Chains A and B, each alone.
Chain A
Amino acid sequence: MTNENMNTAASTETQPSATADPTSEPLVEQSISVDNTSDRTTVDGETVIRSKDLDVFYGETQALQSVSLEIPENQVTAMIGPSGCGKSTFLRCINRMNDLIDVARIDGELTFDGKNVYDEDVDPVALRRRIGMVFQHPNPFPKSIYDNVAYGLRIQNRDVDMDAVVEESLKKAALWDEVKDRLDESALDLSGGQQQRLCIARAIAVDPQVVLMDEPASALDPIATSKIEDLIEDLAEEYTVVIVTHNMQQAARISDTTAVFLTGGELVEFDDTDKIFEDPESQRVEDYITGKFG
């Protein structure tokens, strides 16, 4: 199998992106693709997560093929594509959730703040404390609302004013007004949309740098979805948000940058969202976006 979107590698940036000079970002524009696939791997903005030739295998099956891209800081980056295209797999590589699957094998490089997260000296638990995650189905613990939000602070033994952080996180997740009088009640009594906002509050309570979201609205009704979408746009002011979604309109509405994965785990196009949706370089991306397949 040939890697159609094989990129000539951008020079590895080893210093943390927070101190990196944005003008020094190498933009590689020489195309070697055969399928008029864009070979762009960067967009404007300071890079916080960079993958280079990332391959993921589940046993014999290859889930990602040589994916290279750079996710900009404090923006919303969307990953779209049909089922089984590897977008969730990519997301789970970032915080090493794939480590929990015995048969998963990862080749290539994925750096966060300039450090390869698959280096030997990286503790995945410590890494996940910097990168929050929100899942497809709302998964609050069967504990009280308060205990759900405080969970991360407790397991990390953070010496903070717990009440204040819980309140602030719930406010950021636009849930405070709905639950402030019943923080002691079970989180399972909330509606699906409220549960998902609670999960977001839980994720941001420990003040991560990046929030990963794996189809956070796919199990919700349209009204709850629009609340989550508003919330995601607000979150991008403080956090780098990477969101996987099935819903192309959603990606178009909320993201600044979009990565399109297509069948077989290849990254076909990565660019500003406007560019992807208005004038994609690849014919396959255009077909997918206009609904001809996928």
Chain B
Amino acid sequence: MATPEQGIDWAGDTGQVSRLRGVAFEVTCLAAVAFALVSVLVLLLYVSADALRPFSADPGWHLVFFLTLVVPSVSAALFYYRRDEPAGEVAYATTGLPVVGVLGAAVFAVVLDIELVTAVEMFALLVSALVAAGIIAAHARYRPRAAAERMAVLFGAPVVTILGVPPAEVTMALNAALSALGLSIEFGVRLLSLREVILLTPVVPLQWIMVALSLTVPVGAVLGGYVARVRANPRAGLAFVGGAVAVSALAPLVGPVVGIGATGWILLVTFCLLPVAVYVEGVIRRREGIAGLTFPLILVGGVVLGALLADLFGFAPPDPWLDWSFLTSAHSRTPAEAGFYPPIVGSVMMLIVIALSTFPVGVGAAIYLEEYAPDSGLAGKFITLVEINIGNLAGVPSVVYGLLGLALFIRVLTMPTGAVMVGGLAIGILILPIVIISAQEAIRAVPDSHREAAYGMGATRWQTTRSVVLPQAIPGILTGTILAVGRAIGETAPLLMIGAASSVRLAPSGFFDQLPAMPRQIFAWSTNLEPEIRHGVLAAGVVTLLVVLLIMNGTAILIRNKYQREV
């Protein structure tokens, strides 16, 4: 094509359209992406290096673990990727499930440890709830037509079995109101609930037995029912439940030996062993990707072998700031003893307050705005104004929300300064607009044709929302909420405004206790006089916070992917 033919201006050297500007634009965009990625990566590496101090170990230690852990696991991963993709998925799940299970068990262990809920309270609540459910089910079965009576039973049964008549809180509030009015009458007579009767019983079984009864038995029964269904064999289900009970009964023997105590063993069985057992059973039954089951064994074997070899050769392991004692002890002036346990517990409790306060309000507001609010006329204009301002509220600086929390919850509602509840509510208001907006988007993504189909069938607006819109929108709503909550637990400014203490010795055991929060503790460490705390301990805290965020965002992504596969 050296000499283009006469009259052809779309070929040859002169017949090319210049792409110079396009290429320049592409390169600039690529550079922006690279800059963003590299800067985040460098920050993470810098912090992790400070927190984990990998170079404090002997080079030999790294070599040993490289050979026993990294090489086998990477080659296994490559094998799955190249040869056996289902096995790769199985490997991912069998490695991830125990990790998630251990996290769940850890959360429950902390709940029992700080006595947020004691084992006997859990047990009493479960028994009472079961009795209430039994009453409701029996009523539905024997009097299926009495709708009004059903409502009464639906609300009445839990009150009688769980709350008592009248509920203790009502009596307390009533007595408080009476004494405020200057009357010295006290209402002492009330019918105790089943739950309270159990709590009054002077003799209680050992903690691990109560935890086993109130956690392992229900979880085992549900999973056993699942096994019986997928195998179409009730005996398999019974065998599963029997196995669960047998493994639980080992608790007083195995628990202390392993070093986690009988209750720890029960929690581990409930959250880790039983779900993993069900999953492994499924993999073997389907005979697909069985090779993946070896992956966790490779990991555990690599760690054990590496530790043994390093010990044999006398290679010193690294001395990271982020270690077990960091996760289980409170702040100390000595860097080596400083820990993060109270802030982790405090942040998780705050997270519970945030989720419980924002989720119902945010989702309710989003449902109203999307499904019920008028979209034309004067009312429609007002609704548009409201929606625009919800968007604006999402942009209000967090320090302002902290001020609001200070004024509203501490000054007006006289809650204790720096309490878990105050922090959770203040940050809850902060993320409320984000929750509303993301829930609105999830609801809007439900196709109108499904709403029309429901309305065309003669569904009411409520029936359409409940049975058609919400089931499809809930994964999106959850994703948005989890991301917003993840953002929220890193918030620091509102905590400063509501007077959260910089360092708290004890993990809170109630929602009105002093709030130790991860970002607040990190901020306090950043001004500590001890350089090792400013650099090492602080970095360990940052990495812990990032890991928690990573877990939450990962959960959100998992929920989203599951939803996308189903639709």
The interface of chain A, by Cβ under 8 A from chain B, is 95, 97, 100, 102-103, 125-130, 132-133, 135, 137, 139-143, 151-152, 154-156, 186, 188, 199, 202-203, 206
Contact = CB atoms under 8 A, between A and B. Distances in A.
Contacts of A95: 456
B566 interface: yes
A54 to B, nearest CB: 20
Contacts of A132: 456-457
Would you list the 6 A-B pairs with minimal beta carbon distance, nearest first?
A129-B458, A133-B456, A128-B458, A139-B449, A102-B376, A152-B457
B467 A151 contact: yes
B566 A141 contact: no
B375 A142 contact: no
A102 B374 contact: yes
12 contacts: A100-B452, A102-B374, A102-B377, A128-B458, A132-B457, A133-B456, A139-B450, A139-B453, A140-B453, A155-B463, A206-B457, A206-B458
A11 B472 CA distance: 49
Contacts of A141: 450, 453-454, 468
Contacts of B471: 142-143
B460 A125 contact: yes
A57 to B, nearest CB: 13
State which size class the interface on B falls in: 20 to 34
A137 B456 contact: no
B447 interface: yes
Given A102-B374, A102-B377, A142-B472, A155 B457 contact: yes
Contact of A137 (B374, B449, B454): B449
B73 to A, nearest CB: 37
B285 to A, nearest CB: 19
Contacts of B463: 155
A125 B459 contact: yes
A131 B160 CA distance: 45
A202 B453 CA distance: 10
Contact of B567 (A128, A156, A188): A188
A97 B567 CA distance: 27
Contacts of A103: 376
Given A102-B375, A102-B380, A135 B457 contact: no
A154 B377 CA distance: 35
B6 to A, nearest CB: 48
A203 B457 contact: yes
B455 interface: yes
Nearest to A202: B457
Contacts of A151: 454, 457, 467
Contact of A135 (B376, B380, B453, B467): B453
A57 B450 CA distance: 25
Given A102-B376, A142-B567, A151-B467, A128 B457 contact: yes
Given A132-B457, A141-B468, 12 more contacts: A102-B375, A102-B380, A135-B453, A135-B456, A139-B447, A143-B471, A155-B454, A155-B459, A155-B463, A155-B467, A188-B567, A202-B457
A129 B454 CA distance: 11
Contacts of A203: 456-457
Given A102-B380, A137-B449, A199-B453, A142 B459 contact: no
Interface string B227-245: 0000000000000000000
Nearest to A153: B457
Given A102-B375, A102-B377, A102-B380, A142 B566 contact: yes
B457 A126 contact: no
A140 B468 CA distance: 11
A282 B393 CA distance: 61
Contacts of B447: 139
B299 to A, nearest CB: 36
A97 B455 contact: yes
A137 B452 CA distance: 11
B459 A135 contact: no
A188 B565 CA distance: 12
A100 B455 contact: yes
Interface in B430-447: 447
Contact of B458 (A126, A140, A143, A186): A126
Contacts of A133: 456-457
A128 B456 contact: yes
Contacts of A97: 452, 455-456
A100 B455 CA distance: 9
Contacts of A156: 458
A102 B380 CA distance: 10
A135 B452 contact: yes
Contacts of B376: 102-103
Nearest to B452: A135
B297 to A, nearest CB: 36
Nearest to A137: B449
Nearest to B147: A157
Interface in B527-567: 566-567
A79 B376 CA distance: 30
Contacts of B377: 102
A128 B449 contact: no
A139 B457 contact: no
A186 B468 CA distance: 14
Contacts of B453: 135, 139-141, 199, 202
A188 B376 CA distance: 34
Nearest to B466: A155
Interface string B362-384: 00000000000011110010000
Contact of A125 (B449, B458, B472, B567): B458
A93 to B, nearest CB: 13
Contacts of A126: 458
A32 B376 CA distance: 39
Nearest to B464: A155
Nearest to B446: A142
A199 B456 CA distance: 11
B332 to A, nearest CB: 54
B203 to A, nearest CB: 48
Nearest to A199: B453
Nearest to A99: B455
A125 B458 CA distance: 5
A127 B456 CA distance: 10
B457 to A, nearest CB: 5
By CB atoms of chain B within 10 A, which of A125, A143, A206 has the most? Answer: A125
Contacts of A154: 467
Contacts of B472: 142
A139 B467 contact: no
A199 B452 CA distance: 12
A199 B450 CA distance: 11
Given A139-B447, A141-B450, A128 B374 contact: no
Contacts of B374: 102
A282 to B, nearest CB: 32
A154 B447 CA distance: 22
A130 B456 CA distance: 10
A141 B456 CA distance: 13
A102 B456 CA distance: 17
A195 B99 CA distance: 42
